[in-house]
Every structure is written in C-alpha cells, then in structure tokens.
C-alpha cells in the first residue's frame, strides 16, 4: 500500500518519495465502495506516466490511480494518509535539539542530511541520543 503525507501530500511509494506536481481537485471517477464521487487530491509524475491520489467525498476511501503518459487508465491501488515524520532537522525546534545534542553533533547531523562531508564519530555519538530525544520530545529523528 502506498502512503501519502498529510499536508505536503508527498507520496511514499516502494521506498521512494515523490513530490506532487499539482494539488488540483478534479472529479476523477466513482468510488468502487460506495459509488460516491472521487476527487483528486494530488498529481505525481512517475516513470513514463502519471499517478493521481484520489479520495471519495462520501466515504473517505483513498486510492492511487495509475495512468500512462497519454492518460490511459492503468490501474488503482490502495493508499493511506500518514502523518509526516520529522525526518528533517529543520522541522524541529532548535532549543530542543540543543538540549540533547552538542554543537559538533548537530553540525554532523546537518551535514549528513545535506549529503555533505561530516565527522563520522560525531554522527555516531548523536545517533546514540536519538532514543533520549524521542523520550523527551516525542519525535524520532532519522538521519
């Protein structure tokens, strides 16, 4: 099942994340469960075609509809909405981070997140503290 982040509508599909190209609401068909109207919530480019996230107005059923490049229907699959995870440091309040991590550790985490070079030891030290950070602030860091 694919997952769609609430808010950003970023699509998680087979280990990759795809940003929506459009958040247009269009009528895209009828719900197979209740016959209600399906409205698109986001459009994505994928491979040679398109993926459209849609939601039933009546029962809330979510699905992902696959089209080829000429908008021929290819199939549907189930989708669910998830809360975005704070995978980015910029989501987290600075003072919370500074409570747990040293400046050197934060620097390593930020550099790693941006794919820049960093001091490996500092990142290892930071990673040991992720549990503590989660206990204190209820957010799991994934860097």
Nearer Cβ to Zn ion (53/108): 53
Give the angle subtended at the CA of 58 by the CAs of 54 and 62, to the nearest 5°.
Answer: 30
Nearer Cβ to Zn ion (19/32): 32
**What distance in Å separates the CA atoms of residue 78 and residue 62, rounded to the nearest whole number?**
7
CB of 54 to Zn ion, least distance (A): 10
Nearer Cβ to Zn ion (36/86): 36
Q: Which two tokens stand for residue 90?
A: 């910029």
CB of 36 to Zn ion, least distance (A): 4
Per-position b or e across 27-66, b if 16+ CB within 10 A of its CB: ebbebeeeeeebbbbbbbeeeeebbbbbbbeeeebbbbbb
Q: Which residues bind Zn ion (CB under 5 A)?
A: 31, 33-34, 36, 56, 58-59, 61
- Scan for tokens 């989660």, then name that residue: 134
CB of 94 to Zn ion, least distance (A): 43
CB of 58 to Zn ion, least distance (A): 5
Nearer Cβ to Zn ion (34/136): 34
């Amino acid at each position: 099942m694919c997952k769609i982040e609430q808010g950003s509508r970023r699509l998680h599909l087979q280990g990759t994340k795809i940003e929506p190209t459009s958040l247009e609401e269009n009528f895209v068909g009828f719900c197979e469960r209740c016959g209600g109207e399906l409205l698109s919530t986001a459009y994505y480019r994928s491979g040679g075609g398109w993926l459209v996230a849609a939601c039933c107005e009546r029962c809330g059923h979510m699905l992902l509809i696959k089209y080829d490049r000429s908008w021929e229907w290819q199939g549907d699959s189930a989708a669910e909405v998830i809360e975005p995870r704070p995978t980015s440091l910029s989501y987290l309040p600075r003072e919370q981070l500074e409570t747990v991590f040293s400046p050197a550790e934060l620097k390593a985490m930020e550099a790693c997140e941006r794919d820049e070079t960093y001091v490996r030891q500092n990142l290892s030290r930071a990673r040991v503290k992720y549990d503590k950070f989660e206990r204190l602030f209820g957010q799991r860091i994934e860097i």
